[in-house]
Amino acid sequence: EGHGTGTKAGDPKEAAAIFECFGQEARDEPLYVGSVKTVIGHTEGAAGLAGLFKALGIVQNGVIPPNLLFNKLNPAIEPFHKYLKVPTALSEYPTLAEGVPRRVSVNSFGFGGSNAHAILEQYNGPVASEESALVPAFAPFVFSAVSEVTLIAQLEAFSKYLEANEDVNLSDLAFTLHARRSQLAVKTSFAASSAAQLKTKIDEKIAEAKANASKPIGVRANSKLVTPGILGVFTGQGAQW
């Protein structure tokens, strides 16, 4: 994914650099080179991010988007075009050997002459064995309530539940507490890898709270919600705005 602004001086220089780094070796498949600017134009300060998002889509989906409005190669780029190819139609990512991840490079220039180059690589996670799938995740369990009193009552109820349901799926429980319950003002959390361990920690917290009523059982969140303002800056030629 090139910077590719379409300028008379910039594109040949970038093509030469890409060819020098990646394009001199003979290859069965061409090295695809393109720029998202042919689709959305130059987004100035966000140009690098636009190229990054395009590259992430290629890595994830294995499909290379086409460049728009490309009909004739710039003669100044011709010397560096031997193993490079500008895609003009939707293309499948070249076939790879088993275990080899997809990779996409992203090149971007700054207004001040700085250059950034990032190489993105597909993540191929290890296949979980049946044995490892049975091992529960060490997850945070977050409890919240509107007050200290109701939080203690909630913890007592969960302690009884865990005592009666030792085979509860802890991953599901952690997810439900985090994503399916309202996050209220008073919170406390525990880390555990078994129902018994979680129950023990909850019971210790309850006993500590009852022994020292003046000590907060949880963390109280700020109840004042401040909506941030939005500022848009149109940079023109870079530093001047």
CA 147, CA 186: separation in Å to the nearest integer? 6
pLDDT in tens, 208-232: 988 887 788 777 765 555 677 777 7
- Between the alpha carbon of residue 191 and those of residues 47, 145, 165, 197, 216, the distances in Å are 42, 18, 18, 9, 19
Q: Hey, what domains does the chain have and what are their CATH numbers?
A: 10-121 (3.40.47.10), 131-220 (3.30.70.3290)
In sequence order, the β-bridge partners of residue 220 are 186
Q: Which residues have C-beta within 8 Å of that of residue 190, sequence separation ≥ 6? A: 140, 141, 143, 198, 201, 202, 205
Q: What is the mean pLDDT of the chain?
A: 84
Return the pLDDT at 47.
86
- Rg of the chain over all Cα atoms, to the nearest angstrom: 28
Q: What angle do CA 4, 107, 12 make, to 5 degrees?
A: 40
Q: What angle do CA 220, 222, 223 make, to 5 degrees?
A: 105
Return the pLDDT at 99.
85
- Alpha-helical regions (H) of 29-93: 37-40, 47-61
